Structure 1
């Protein structure tokens, strides 16, 4: 078996799908990376990577090896982090989150955390789709909205206020709804948080109004829903954090301010059947503290 740096190098080539990208990340020559992986394959007696002119893809054996070796490497990082007296974290932490949540909410808050742990490499996967944490070797996932089931380990870290917005150009043409009931006359844009919902709920003075919505434009990405609304395609339901930039600039305006909508929970969730890593716990505690300040 090769040494630990070679095993770590293999995981990076497999995850990045590129020898050159792994070489840049590790400050090694591409030829050196290629040679080290070839030596690893020779020692194991099996081809781990399928090489083409366009991509480097793990073979079936390579996928199996990756799935088994990544938790071992993560456990080694945890062993070191647990006994390091300075409290400084090292290694790599893979985090999955919805794209707009990461770009507009979480990533801008990370400077303080990175300054505390400069030797910890944060790798973020920005996708609105639900992630398979085990298969993706992801240490933490963040989810805006209700969790699909109660399995696994999850921690509520905060809530986001939901609002209804539209572009001034749309309102000039179609008018501004004065009550939730008037939404029936408007074009509705539905993003990922409400993609499978058939109604929106509004509360005022202890009363709840449930409004059935018929989408005219649907997208699985919050940025897409905001872009559609900003372009004047219709009105949409989003969160104050996601739409802050557009609200501040006037590209979007809030509708029905006298009514409130249900808040969206934000959870951190962890791989099922795997011990939560030290770095993951510290990171989630940091994020929870940041959310508590708002």
Structure 2
């Protein structure tokens, strides 16, 4: 079989076109770097022209590579669509990849999936975390709950409401550094911030109709939600992006304390996304409609009672 007839080679091409890196593509496609590089080179040899300028960093498409990439994406999408339809018609258990943020407690997610098994016991999910819309577009994950609303191209999207929190600190940190009362006080404190490829960063704080920029001189840690929580619990600083759901028990025990008198980061725009190539799969669409309705209710229940308990505004827009 010629390489041009190998779908894996086309997946490598499309991935490198998006990431600009054979190394990132190898990780994404679960290949050795040498194997990914060989597939790409063999595909170029079969077709008789280079797809990329390998001297640029990140790797840039040549003019002919640019003309080809959209058609390659369509090829992979059509194959995936045929495969998904065949799987759904087989009568056997079907598995999809579902991603939820780490800020969403897993007990709620497991409860949701167990409830849906009563409706469709043969629909199963591999659970993932910390994905973004680019992972959905690339096929690394099929459905994802995101804390932001991404560009709509290639995606089907459903809003499930907002998510709110308060900045959190340990009593030990506040005893040593004092308690900030207003946003400008944060310039004298260490901050712990969430980061990610498409994660919506904390640039502003709000309280009711008030809004203020987040200004700090000391960011002591950035990372994923679990790493930020570990830094927070070690008394390293004030965490701006951790959810009530992730820190509920620590807050109730008094191990963590909300600060800033009702000021909080701008709300997360909680959004379910699915790759558009799966929208003709009625079985999966039925699950999406169900989980969107359920998550719209569960999402509010995860943050609103505690938000109001600690002085949050009652009218959230």
TM-score range, shorter chain: 0.5 to 0.7
Contact preservation (8 Å) 2:166, 2:262: no
Any gaps of 5 or more consecutive residues in structure 1? Answer: 1-10, 12-49, 82-88
Quick check: which one's strand share is greater?
1
Matched, 1:125 2:128: yes
Match of 1:76 among 86, 95, 98: 86
Give the Cα–Cα distance (whole angstroms) in 1 for the partners of residues 157 and 178 of structure 2.
42
Matched, 1:278 2:282: yes
Write out per-residue CA displacement over residues 173-204 of structure 1, whole angstroms, 9 at most, x where no aligned residue.
Answer: 11111222211111011113796746331224
- In structure 2, the residue corresponding to 1:212 is in which secondary structure? coil
Matched, 1:139 2:165: no
Residues 99-108 or 212-221, more deviating: 99-108
CA RMSD of aligned residues (A): 3.9
Match of 1:109 among 105, 109, 112: 112
Runs of 4+ aligned structure 1 residues displaced above 6 Å come to 64-68, 193-196
Residues 244-253 or 233-242, more deviating: 244-253
Quick check: which one's helix share is greater?
2
Paired residues in the alignment total 238
Give the Cα–Cα distance (whole angstroms) in 2 for the partners of residues 252 and 280 of structure 1.
40
Contact preservation (8 Å) 1:195, 1:218: no
Any gaps of 5 or more consecutive residues in structure 2? Answer: 1-7, 9-29, 41-71, 302-317
Aligned pairs (5 A) from 1:1-294: 60=39, 70-79=80-89, 90-101=93-104, 103=106, 105-128=108-131, 130-136=133-139, 138-147=141-150, 149-151=151-153, 152-192=155-195, 197=201, 199-204=203-208, 206-238=209-241, 239-291=243-295, 292=297, 294=301
The 3 A distance-change label for structure 1 pair 240 and 120 is same
The 3 A distance-change label for structure 1 pair 114 and 102 is farther
TM-score (norm 2): 0.61
Write out per-residue CA displacement over residues 25-55 of structure 1, whole angstroms, 9 at most, x where no aligned residue.
Answer: xxxxxxxxxxxxxxxxxxxxxxxxx999xxx
